[in-house]
Amino acid sequence: MVEGRAKSEKILDRCLEASRSGGQDPKEILRRQPEQAEALRPELEAASWLHEKRQGFVAQPDFAQYSAQRLLAGLHKPGLSLRQRFLAWKDGQLGRQLFWNNPLLQAASLVMLGFALYFSLGSIGRASQFWLPGDVFYPIKTVQESAQLTLAVRAAEDASLHIEFAHRRLLEVQSLAMEERHAQIPRTVENFRWHVESAVRAVRRVAARDPRQGQVLAEALQGVLSEQVDLMRLLASLAPLESQVEFNRVRFISQDGLSRIRDFLFPDEDAPDGGARDSLQFCWVGAVGVT
């Protein structure tokens, strides 16, 4: 029914346009659409009536001529009143609106904007991994991370993201140390601590429901916390005194995190035999280099 109505509207419009432009005969259009001709009769009769009556509104024969002189006199008048200036601006806005209301132009603008956003965001996303605390665009990186955390619905996603971001903070600490940008290190270490704590809490929540999945996440966190240990020890030995404190803090945070997820690394109810467990413990202790 909607299609039928749309067809009627189109045919009516074609008939009116034919009358307006003097091109095709409207009767010819209707002859090809006999079912529409009957349905459109009332509208066409009204249109015909209105078309006839428009003669009553025509201007006087010499209207354009004598009023043009008035127009020219007005155009030649120097200076505009405040109201005229305001109206000129307002009417100019109409012209600009018409320009931007052009559907093709709007569509083209949207497409170009879409491309620009896609490429710039993609570039930003790729470039952001190299930004360090203190860099101009570093806030973009943290905003992206915050957005990802906000969108994470399940505890497993939350845990994975915190583990990933804890790893990033560690890499940033190392890069800052190598670039001797020691002023940024304390704040970065604090962020590292926050991500580790959040990851541990999320792993616990996951493990409570699904021990196997909890184990996988715990192992991932263990990997992050233990892999950079030797490098941290080296950096601590080479860094200025105030940064040595921060590198040791990283090691303590890692140790603490590992101790809290230890139970989730072995989710089976039957504990491994004592010897094996001791050796695992030894491996764990050796991994974080606790002295």
List residues binding another protein (CB under 8 A): 5, 8-10, 12-13, 16-17, 20-23, 42-47, 49-51, 53-54, 56-60, 63-64, 67-68, 70-72, 74-75, 80, 84, 87-96, 98-103, 105
Q: Is the Cβ of residue 103 or residue 275 nearer to another protein in the bound state?
A: 103
Task: Measure Cα distances from 291 to 7, 164, 251 in Å.
Answer: 85, 27, 11
Toward another protein, which CB reaches closer, 7 or 182?
7
What is the closest distance, in whole angstroms, from the C-beta atom of residue 17 to another protein in the complex? 7
Q: Which two tokens mark 206?
A: 């996951």
Tokens 């470039």 label which residue? 127
Taking the complex as a whole, the smallest distance from the CB of residue 26 to another protein amounts, in Å, to 13
Cβ proximity to another protein: between 101 and 146 the closer is 101
Least distance to another protein, CB of residue 4, Å: 12
Minimum gap (Å) between residue 68 Cβ and another protein: 6
Residue 86 contacts by C-beta under 8 Å, 6 or more apart in sequence? Answer: none
For another protein, the closer CB: 34 or 95? 95
Cα–Cα distance measured from residue 236 to residue 243, given in angstroms and rounded to the nearest whole number: 7
Q: Least distance in Å: CB of 113 to another protein?
A: 19
Cα 68 from chain centroid?
56
Query: CA-to-CA distance for 8 and 142, rounded, in angstroms?
Result: 57
Structure tokens at 230: 């030797």
Q: Which is nearer to another protein, 107 or 121 (CB)?
A: 107
Alpha helices by DSSP H, 32-128: 34-39, 41-53, 63-76, 82-101, 103-128
